Structure 1
């Protein structure tokens, strides 16, 4: 037993399983990484310890004069019912419950992949809808698997009434924010004010939605910063969504020219440039507004609608290039005249 214990301790060390012959064979065949190999080593260490106890303890009891019948009876009683006060549980039931839960968990994940990759992908379902449905199915499947696992373990669910009452008190004091975010996440998945891939503005951040869970939402800003924002932020505060129903949007480009220019000529040139660009939508039609003037400048704003508001950088750059070229051709001064 002591040698088995030493073997289990040795194989559980970090990197020990990788240096073993079995570890090298598995690594070469399945291309395992170091973390997976260490996890396999830890699992083997636990199995060795269990085998040491299962084989060694009966032999010790036999040397002390006990009979096989006594050992078998103790083992059967220990595996089928352990009583602590008024509470009793079964090791076999617990193992059965864990196995049932794991089967339900992996079945839920497989069903999620099949539903998302086979059914909804072929039906051209929107990516946001696919994410919401997949997330809801995943949480529902894990919850059902957990309840079935508890029942298979022989645990009476009615015994959790006292625990639930105590948790309700804790929720009222210390867990209210967590519950608030959880309920807010369920509301977001049901109402879908935004979906994965949408361009949103909330909580002082602006970016694309990457993941929606029941507690928080992951947003990637345009500087590639990942922001994990609690779901209650979207429920309790204003939320801007540039791509809620479609990607059509308006682009505003301010233009400032010198006061010595004729404003009607500037307005006509800007209108011709924005109208002639192929990405500018005809309906709604673009417009150029004369916003005001000072003793040194005339202020205009180009307002144009595009089909995809998320990719307007090249559009605005090209408009500015064309405006500068037309201004030079028409003799329009942007700065102070010579």
Structure 2
């Protein structure tokens, strides 16, 4: 028993000696011991925790008062936390009596060891510092690296946490983001363009396809009006005419769901216009076709019984389609678009959209900003003054409305409402600029129409004094349109 106590005491003395062993001597005469090392590690952990807490506190109390995005706030709070932790550790070193200048040799030896033994750790550490300061990606950004695509949730010194679109968290070493090509969908500008491929059957009217795709795009609430949607005819495929719908969105993380919703809308628009999406086609060559003639004749007798009902349904569907005119046909009936080529009509459809309104529906009100130009495709509207409580004039199919406020850069001078079910072709300010650039004759017709309304323009106080003829009025209006729309 006594022998066991002696052995136990020896072991305890050994660890006590090891704990207080002088590992090496510092320049100031002090010795670096294991005891001092463990204390430094403990105080370093405390300094790190305090620094992180202060960084988060600053983020929640101070940075939230400013209009700073989430990623920038996270980067600022992280940098502040690491700075406070580093300063705290230096203060601890001074407090324990260690002369910082005496650590230069030790730091050099440790740095050399870390360089060889912990290359990846050091590389990730430096990469993390680079990411925090340069901010090529921030918390909340949608990024794509290699085969990984997701949202940045956290950026630390060693690694970055990315949440995939399937809500799976992936820890990625920071070195990956420095050495590889990174796609950052949210960098500087959230707005990005989405490509949606669509194939239709050969023989389909390409202008009708353009109208259908643009209609689907403009009905989707997440599609940005500017830049306006576009349709590209990509190629003549093996079994289809291949198009591509290009739209702009400002919420990159929602793009997968957005494309699904848009595909549903495209399918509805194509079906409403009887546009078919083809199956892959193959040619079948039959060597002994004579043997199949009796079988085909028998099948013909069976199908002839139902031919009458099928033909009647086809006729009814055809009549129904004839009653539903395409936007191309409606625009071609307008006098100043009748001379347009099919290509010009297709470009025209890209600049605006069709709007169907019910009777007594208000299109715009007196005093509203003039941000849209309308062409009446069918039906009629009433222009009236709400302030004066009187009717001004009716406009019918083939005429344009809302042009005075938009083209003169003034608020609406009157209100407009429909007299019956009315179809309008609506063009906003930006697209009207393109429209007038491509169709200068339309600007001439609008100027000529406005020149006949000198009393209305005079009542608004925007006419110069030295205009004494309708021709002078026309030139002044035409020049004002050129100036406002930079054409």
TM-score, normalised with respect to structure 2: 0.48
Q: Does 1:287 align with 2:250?
A: no
Question: Equivalent residues in 2 for 1:108-187 (5 A)?
Answer: 108-187=51-130
Q: Is the contact between residue 115 and residue 134 of structure 1 (CA under 8 Å) also seen in structure 2?
A: yes
Q: Distance in 2 between matches of 1:103 and 1:320?
A: 55
Structure 1 equivalent of residue 135 of structure 2: 192
Aligned-residue offset at 1:184: 1.4
Residue 278 of structure 2 aligns to a residue in which SS?
coil
Q: Look up the SS of the partner of 2:253 in the other structure.
A: coil
Matches of 2:33 and 2:88, distance apart in 1: 19
Indicate yes or no: 2:185 matched with 1:215.
no
TM superposition shift of 1:255? 0.6
The residue matched to 1:305 in structure 2 has which SS? Answer: strand
Greater shift in the superposed pair: 135-144 or 85-94:
85-94
Q: Would the alpha carbon gap of residues 261 and 146 (structure 1) be closer, same or farther in structure 2, given more than 3 Å must change?
A: same
Larger deviation, residues 208-217 vs 328-337: 328-337
CA RMSD of aligned residues (A): 3.1
Q: Deviations over 1:194-239 (max 9, x none)?
A: 1001000113311010111121111111122222222122122211
Indicate how the Cα distance of structure 1 residues 100 and 258 shifts in structure 2: closer, same or farther if over 3 A, else same. Answer: closer
Deviation at 1:267, TM superposition (A): 2.3
Structure with higher Rg: it is 2
**Partner secondary structure for residue 206 of structure 1:** strand
- Within 5 Å, give how 1:13-162 maps onto structure 2: 84=22, 87-88=30-31, 104=47, 107-162=50-105
CA distance in 2, matches of 1:171, 1:275: 58
TM-superposed CA distance for 1:292, in Å, is: 1.0
Q: CA deviation at 1:273?
A: 2.5
Shift of 1:153: 1.4
2:274 maps to 331
Spell out, residue by residue over 1:260-315, the C-alpha distance to the aligned partner (whole angstroms, 9 max, x if none).
32333222322232234343222111111111113521111110112322223454
What SS does the aligned partner of 1:113 have?
A: helix
**Structure 1: gaps spanning 5 or more residues:** 1-52, 54-77
TM superposition shift of 1:333 = 1.5
Contact 1:200 1:242 in 2 (8 A): yes
Structure 2 residue 193 is the aligned partner of structure 1 residue 245: no
Q: Contact conserved, 1:259 with 1:296, CA < 8 A, in 2?
A: yes
Provide the secondary structure at the position in 1 that maps to 2:181: coil
State how far apart, in whole Å, the 2-side matches of 1:97 and 1:322 are. 64
- Tell me how far apart the structure 2 counterparts of residues 168 and 95 of structure 1 sit (CA, whole Å): 19
Choose between structure 1 and 2: higher helix proportion.
1
Separation in 2, partners of 1:95, 1:296: 74
User: In structure 1, which of residues 199, 202, 217 is the aligned counterpart of residue 145 of structure 2?
Assistant: 202
Contact residue 142 and residue 252 of structure 2 kept, 8 A: no
Q: Contact conserved, 1:181 with 1:215, CA < 8 A, in 2?
A: yes
Contact kept, 8 Å, 1:182 with 1:231, in 2: the verdict is: yes
Query: Are 1:182 and 1:215, in contact at CA under 8 Å, matched by a contact in 2?
Result: yes
Match of 1:256 among 160, 183, 199: 199
More contact order relative to length (CA 8 Å, sep ≥ 6): 1
Measure the CA separation in 1 of the matches of 2:97 and 2:66: 42
- Indicate conservation of the 8 Å contact 1:287/1:304, yes or no: yes
